[in-house]
Amino acid sequence: GRLPSMLSMGSDKGDLDLEGGGAPLKATVALMHPTEPIQPPLDGSIHWRLISQLSLNYLSLVGEDSPETTRGLITPEGGKPKSGAPLRELLRLYNSGDSSSGEKHVQGITAVNSEPWYARVRSDQGLSFARGRRIFIDLDEDHFSGGGIYLFASVIERFLALYSSMNSFSALVARVHSKRKTYTLREWEPRAGYRTLI
């Protein structure tokens, strides 16, 4: 609820009381006032969109889009690009408070493609190969400021790795498109969940 945002701040004796005493502190002071809570939207569709995440994997996020969203577009690899609509829709669920900067970052995803990929895996038994997906995400530089594009791509890389199925992995390649040039921002190591494979 709203209780944390209703706390009084700025007392000479400190903002918070310590239970049990004995701590070698004179006072505990909050650096900032707690922010107001953000209430979730109450329309009926949000519930089904949240439930749909329970059986989500990264293939459904980088899967085929409708022909209308990719008509006439060709990727550098020669295939049809995906618009990134499923990934953008999922990220909008996490855009707390419908912030305009969050929406601008989500709109910065211009395409998402994937291809089968193999990677070497070291284990106690020796070296083996694992099968996974190499995911290409195209980002529009105009939707990000400063180093925000690298941070955003890093978060997406971790996010997609958590959706890897058992005995599989994902390896993200982030490409940036600007008015001047197109370049690869970074190619991440293959990752399954929290663990890098190489």
Q: Render 44-92 in DSSP notation, one character per residue.
A: THHHHHHHGGGG--HHHHSS---HHHHTT---TTSSPPP--HHHHHHHH
Please check whether residue 133 is in contact with residue 31, taking contact to mean a CB–CB distance below 8 angstroms: no
- Terminal Cα-to-Cα distance of the chain (whole angstroms): 45
23 and 60, same domain (yes or no): no
33 and 93, same domain (yes or no): no
Q: Which residue has the higher pLDDT, 89 or 83?
A: 89
Alpha helix stretches (DSSP H) within the chain? 45-51, 58-61, 67-70, 85-93, 100-107, 148-162
- What domain count does the chain have? 2
63 and 124, same domain (yes or no): yes
- The mean pLDDT value for 141-146 works out to 89
Q: pTM for the whole thing?
A: 0.70
> Does residue 126 surpass a pLDDT of 70?
yes
14 and 104, same domain (yes or no): no
Q: What range defines the domain where residue 28 resides?
A: 1-37
What would the two tokens of residue 9 be? 């701040």
17 and 105, same domain (yes or no): no
26 and 95, same domain (yes or no): no
130 and 166, same domain (yes or no): yes
For the stretch 145-150, contacts whose Cβ atoms lie closer than 8 Å and that sit 24 or more positions apart, written own/partner, are 148/105, 149/108, 149/176, 149/185, 150/185, 150/186
25 and 80, same domain (yes or no): no
Let me know the angle formed at the C-alpha of 73 by 70 and 78, rounded to the nearest 5 degrees: 115
89 and 148, same domain (yes or no): yes
Query: Model confidence at 11, in pLDDT bands (50, 70, 90)?
Result: confident
